[in-house]
Amino acid sequence: MSETVIHAENLTKRFGDFVAANALTLEVYKGEIFGFLGANGAGKTTAMRMFCGLSIPTSGKATIAGYDVYRQTDLIKKNIGYMSQKFSLYEDLTVLENIRFFGGIYELSNAQLKSKSDELITQLGLQHEAKKLVSGLPLGWKQKLSFSVALLHQPKIVFLDEPTGGVDPVTRRQFWDLIYDAADKGVTIFVTTHYMDEAEYCNRISIMVDGKIEALDSPGNLKKHFQVDSMHEVFYQLARGAKRGE
Ligand SMILES: Nc1ncnc2c1ncn2[C@@H]1O[C@H](COP(=O)(O)OP(=O)(O)OP(=O)(O)O)[C@@H](O)[C@H]1O
């Protein structure tokens, strides 16, 4: 059995009388690519904020990389990476400056910073862009760089909140090659997405509806269970009854 890196049991977050995340129970394993799906307003961000140590749950239990979500939020933050469309790189710093800046926040030594930035720039093929401002990079490159920066401190888990919004399918696929590389090295990927082709790339996925996890399995098993050919259909069958959202 693989090592468990995310363990949640009846994890709940209320805002007043409103239950934003309702008794979430799940286990995610080392090196797994776990897709966290749900319609708008389902409660994904609320859940992710608890998993990242940014929001204290109302009730239930969870450990992230072995650390408790109530008492060890600082240790959680040190042991995870995070990337979202909203929080990303500094546009008015160069590629290299961004890598050094975030490496500094993650407390990498100067020697580590130097070798990591060389490695990353070569791996991404950004040798010619290293001294250019991030604002001039195409969105797909920014996303790849942002993902790599989130891995600088070798976290056990990286949380990705809709990481590939706004780019074409080919660029998305290239981004997923980076995800597979990281997972092969043992990093756990926890990713939210609204793209059903990306859901198919995950080892397992959960689907949230109105605050609850209504399904959790591999894409293949879910399609079998719902007797449909695509994740799009699985998602539609579950989410069409949702009361929240736009
Ligand atoms: N601080 C808060 N106070 C009150 N209600 C909140 C708060 N944060 C979130 N909610 C509500 O909780 C519900 C779940 O929101 P959440 O942002 O977690 O959904 P989501 O699945 O991430 O949606 P999206 O895909 O649109 O980002 C929504 O109805 C939202 O309005």
Ligand 1 midpoint to CA 217 (Å): 24
Residue closest by Cα to atom 29 of ligand 1: 41
Domain count, the chain: 1
**Residues whose beta carbon lies within 6 Å of some atom of ligand 1:** 15, 18, 20, 38, 40-46, 244
Instruction: Identify the pLDDT of residue 65.
Output: 97
Which residue minimizes the CA distance to atom 30 of ligand 1? 41
Which structural domain range is residue 104 located in?
4-239
Residue 68 lies in a domain: yes
- 89 domain residue, yes or no: yes
Tell me whether residue 17 is in a domain: yes
Chunked into runs of 10 residues, the chain (246 residues) has average pLDDT values of 92 97 98 95 95 97 98 95 84 94 89 91 92 93 93 95 90 93 97 92 96 97 96 92 75
* CATH number for 189: 3.40.50.300
Instruction: Output the pLDDT for position 101.
Output: 92
Confidence (pLDDT) at 246 = 60
Cα(15) to centroid(ligand 1), Å: 10
| 3-state SS string for the chain | CCCEEEEEEEEEEEECCEEEEEEEEEEEECCCEEEEEECCCCCHHHHHHHHCCCCCCCEEEEEECCEECCCCHHHHHHHEEEEECCCCCCCCCEHHHHHHHHHHHCCCCHHHHHHHHHHHHHHHCCCCCCCCEHHHCCHHHHHHHHHHHHCCCCCCEEEEECCCCCCCHHHHHHHHHHHHHHHHCCCEEEEECCCHHHHHHCCEEEEEECCEEEEEECHHHHHHHHCCCCHHHHHHHHHCCCCCCC
14 CA to centre of ligand 1 in angstroms: 11
Whether 245 maps to a domain, the answer reads: no
Which residue has the CA at smallest separation from atom 10 of ligand 1? 20
User: Is residue 124 in a domain?
Assistant: yes
